[in-house]
Structure 1
Amino acid sequence: MAMTKPHWQAEKEEIIKQGDNYHIKPRGLNIVWGNDERYWKIPAKRTEDPAEPPAELVQVSWLEVTGSVDELKPGKGYDLTFEVGLAGDAFGWKDIQVFLMAKVGKKGRYKWTRVKLDQDRNNERVTIPDNQKLSIDVPADTRDTTLHFGLYEVWSGKWKGGLKIYNAKVTATA
């Protein structure tokens, strides 16, 4: 049996750039334990189908989903969101907060916000953060304009499952 790496590595062609905005499909994200079907179900490539099947969390105690986009415009602001949902049989999300974090450049400082996933809204697609934005400004004098971002829950040690990740978006602000 051939040994494979346990983590899903982002496929750059699954990051769609539209003007100054980015749409990152599930296969365009790095997912810890994502290459192991005991923990995640990664959707097959679908080039013709506009409906995006999500990456589905089976179970993990360490949730780490990250990504990056290149060539942000210096002096411009961007908002980061994830479109997610919880399956009807989701578990482990009660009293748990998920963190969205982002920084510009390898040496940048992270900005972050906490999000609570509502298990009463099972099978609904929601955008997080929903009540406040995670806005990131690209300094006008920066050379490294890569945005590094992620969705994390690594502190509780609780097992959780049923999370669906449909996409991440990086949207230029006006």
Structure 2
Amino acid sequence: MPFKKPHHTSDKSCMKKDDDKFEILPRGLNIVWGNDSRYWRIPEEGPAELIQVSWLEVSGVVQITKAGTYSVSFEVKVKEDGFGWAGTDVLVMAKIGKTGKYRFQANRLSPGENIIPFKRLEIPVVGPSDLHFGLYEVWSGKWKGGLQIIKAVIQPLN
């Protein structure tokens, strides 16, 4: 039996680009433990659903071609039966290039919240660069579930 990778790897066909605005659907993201149905459900279409993890790591990379300030945001929903989010910061993080320094914006989630864009993170880009971004909660050690990821959006502010 061939080994199945435990993590979901980005499908570039699930990224929409309009000039320097990117809309990344769940299958266009890298999701740690995303290929394991005990932890995630990632359908061909629609939101990715977190079943349960203690290590939330959802990331991606886009190629920015124009200088400016960009916003990084995720659109998510926590189902009514979501758990493990109380008192826990979920971070949207981004950096320029593999060796860049991360910037981050903390967010709080609650079960039953409607679809919400997280507080956006703003990051300056000097010129053509890879923008690495993600959604993380890897510090609390709490088991979490019931999160739906609708999409990530990277777009210029100016």
TM-score range, shorter chain: over 0.9
1:111-126 aligned at under 5 Å gives the runs: 111-119=103-111, 122=112, 124-126=114-116
Unaligned runs of 5+ in 1: 47-52
Alignment-derived partner of residue 60 in structure 1? 53
Partner of 1:167 in structure 2?
151
Letter in 2 for 1:134: L
Q: Which has the larger radius of gyration?
A: 1
Contact 2:77–2:148 under 8 Å retained in 1: yes
In structure 2, the partner of 1:92 is: 84
Letter in 1 for 2:62: V
Query: Helix, strand or coil for the counterpart of 1:114?
Result: strand
Return structure 1 stretches of 4+ with deviation > 3 angstroms.
none
Task: Tell me what 2:71 maps to.
Answer: 79
Q: In 1, Cα distance between the equivalents of 2:80 and 2:110? A: 12
Residues 147-172 of structure 1, C-alpha deviation per residue, up to 9 Å, x if partnerless? 00010000000001000000000011
Could you tell me which residue of structure 2 aligns to residue 11 of structure 1?
Answer: 11
- What do you get for the CA RMSD once the two structures are aligned? 1.2
Identity %: 49
Mapping for residues 127-166 of structure 1, pairs under 5 Å = 127-129=117-119, 133-140=120-127, 145-166=129-150
C-alpha contact 2:26 2:151 (8 A) present in aligned 1: yes
> Which segments of 5 or more consecutive residues in structure 2 lack a partner in the other structure?
none
CA contact (8 A) 2:20 2:64 kept: no
Contact 1:72 1:147 in 2 (8 A): no
TM-score (norm 1): 0.87
Q: Distance in 1 between matches of 2:142 and 2:64?
A: 37
SS of aligned partner of 1:146: strand
The structure 2 residue matched to 1:101, chosen from 75, 93, 96, is 93
Shift of 1:123: 5.4
- Contact 1:68 1:147 survives alignment (8 Å): yes
Deviation at 1:84, TM superposition (A): 0.0
When normalised by structure 2's length, the TM-score is: 0.95
Count residues with an aligned counterpart.
Answer: 158
Secondary structure of the 1:13 match is: helix
